[in-house]
Chains A and B, each alone.
Chain A
Amino acid sequence: MPRNKLLSTTTFRLALVYLTLFMVSASALLGYLYWNTAGFLARQTEATVHAETSAFVTLLDEGGRAALVHAIITKSRDPRQNLFLLEDAKGEKLGGNLEAWPDKTPDLQGWINFNYARRTAEGDIEIQEAQAMATRLPDNMRMLVGQDIGERRRLEAQITNALAWSVAAMVLLGLAGGAIISRNVVARIDAINRTAKDIMGGELSRRIPVSGAGDEIDQLAENLNDMLDQIERLMSGMRQVTDNIAHDLRSPLNRLRNRLEVTLMKPATQEEYAQALERSILEADELLGTFNALLLIARAEAGAARDGMEWVDLSELAQDAAELYEPVADEAGLELQLDIEPDLEYRGHRELLAQMIANLLDNAIKHAGEKAGGKSVRLSVRTRGMMGAEIVVADSGPGISIEDRERVLGRFVRLEQSRNTPGSGLGLSLVNAVARLHGGDIRLEDNHPGLRVVISLARRARRRPSDVAAE
């Protein structure tokens, strides 16, 4: 992976933001640590020097010059690293362990930082750093009280060093961690991008790998895969539609054309012409019907009808459809039995749902009439589970064999035994499309004997509100 790509990833930028935030808070912590260690040492030096100075000033007040000189000389013998120097008005050293007054001007509080030469235990001379406070005394005397701060400086350097290293380690680890995490995420997003490119390149069956971690990227991959499945299904459906249109509309169109042509070929009577035209009109009407059914299916499948969703009284809808088909069933020698749960409302497309029920009844009556050995058709509408709805149309006709069940849901499929009944072969595929539009599915089952078509609709049903209030 190129570095600039890594730097430009969202994850890495996010990691950087976190790193910055982390560093700000860590720096505050380290600063506090520094103030409490190195700062503490510095404050302690100052406090000691202050205390010694004020002790000497008090001694001078109470015991006079001789007592001060004596005290300084005594203290100077102390092997600890306190430094003293007392000079008179002429600059002569009166006592102390410093050789000369440092040639530096003290700051406003009287502090002087200076270097001085010191003899070590081995007799070598070494330059040491010191911090001292200069005090002007009566009689133009001046006094310097200080401390060797070499040790302190070394300690401070060590602390600073340690802190610097931890900051460096923090930055490095943070950057590395961010890079690793984002690299991982980038690799997975790369996989998605590669798959998308492959699909755009025409490999429609490619799918995004799912790592199995169940995280957001996996969810994204799964959703995208579902979407791709849906697109592939729609596209293959579309291909099938074109194939089927070519097949099923072309031959009747051809027939229509041939009839007209043949009629024109030989002289005919007015009557014959009228007959040919009438048959042609009939055929054209059938073609249009097929065409409209195809459009409707395509619309339902594309989900374009989703805008027309409203609360529909499914019970009433089923009742009306049953009433429309009752005489037809009667004529076919069938008893239409109803088992409709009252006041069942469903959020859906009124027109398409009505047509779906009509198609189911139409189908059942057409294929399970008395001639086919059927006795009855039963339409049931009921709630199923939580807010689900189920529409079942069961007949006692010849039924459909298991092998053919999957096939009849496709477009234009008309089984051999029903070739002589009218219909475009689009009824069940429209039912299928409408069920799918409503987040449901269609199942064909054996009714022992006969066929049972079960439409399960997704959870969008409710009882009619007025009845809820009345209960």
Chain B
Amino acid sequence: METYYLTAHQLRDKLKKKEISCSEITKSSYRRIEEVEDKVNSFIRLEKESALLKAKEVDALIASGGSVEDLTGIPVAVKDNICTKNITTTCASKILKNYVPVYNASVIEKLESRNYILLGKSNMDEFAMGSSSENSHFGPVRNPWDVNRVPGGSSGGPAAAVAAGEAICALGSDTGGSIRQPASLCGIVGLKPTYGMVSRYGLVAFASSLDQIGPLARDVEDCALMLNVICGHDENDSTSINKEIPDYRSFLKPDIKDLKIGVPSELMVEGIDGEVKEKILKVISMAEDMGAEVEEISIPSLKHALSVYYIIAPSEASSNLSRFDGVRYGYRNTEARTLRKMYRKSRAEGFGDEVKRRIMIGTYCLSAGYYDEYYEKARRVRTLIINDFKKAFSKFDVLLSPTSPTTAFKIGEKTEDPLTMYLSDICTIPVNLAGLPAISIPAGLSKDGLPIGVQVIGNVLREDNILRVAYSLEKAIGFNDRPGL
């Protein structure tokens, strides 16, 4: 029996009832990987041997009366910028090609405490910089719905793996939309938690004030149960929030009666594909049918979100990526005879173009004489955006928008035009700037058979609201198409 397209909560129930073993589940996922991995390239590294061994262990554990919890024995794909002890963590970069962490990220520790199965490390845009997963030293990831198209990015590997049935669910990271946009383009569910809800310890930093780890799965319930496992205070991360974690599954009720939903007009006009807009409007009318109050709202400062993001994120990145210098670990050019040359050559040869572009932008924005004009100004506008969101949430429970302005584009289509590529994240970026939680769920397919996603944004720490709305809409939409791989 093939189980690879089941969800984590379905498999949990089957494991509990002893209808299936963890080894069978794991083997089924690897059979699927063998079948489609050549086409999608969603993994940088597979951990088949240790995964099957672990699956046996878990089966023995269950047989001897061990409890089956959420994610126990579930095959999960982990984005390759999340540190896994003794298993390479490359960030899809040549500079970390052979880097083996000596420690586990805090989220990995949490998953291990549940006896999850690590399938492998997922492909991505190098250092999570990109919206198409084409910027990988290990080759581009392909969209399971059309392998000539991109899966989105930067968590393109995790999204494609879940959409293609290679993984039951996955962990990704989201700095400007890197979970939600690929989830949208691959027709799955992706959730970015409130900044500080999930520990960043062990997530290789791109932009520290924006990065957040989150789940990708095939339904809202799986996202909620993953959230239950990965959330929580961590003393190793100073920005981690110390607050009691609710049971996120308790919010999964198909009821949004009297809920107030705002639709920011700034996220519905410019550059939004007609078919995407149409689909979102359809979702809005479904929400209204269920008794929610939907209203348009204008948040003018959102116009500046993209510019603010492309100053703050590269600035932080330019500093975060300084440590990759060939001195202690990672790629080193061994021909250089002086220290400066070793730095220059190691970095010039180790980083890809997009990473270099952002390091240069960031270095420029922070340099003497430009700091006030760029970084400081961006910080102030960011505060405006935060305040505007606060105002909006005094009136609305959630905000609703497209996740991505378009469906999946062709591989190579935007690689020569970074600015157009950056526009892919126009609807998701404001959420990171304000540290808000947001989820993307499939709203349906375009005429070309490509997935369209709808984004639900909540106020800080109001994961309950976005889960409730997403769950209700998921039931109403009834999306259950599969890519024809």
- Whether chains A and B associate is no
Interface residues of chain B, those whose CB is within 8 Å of chain A, are none
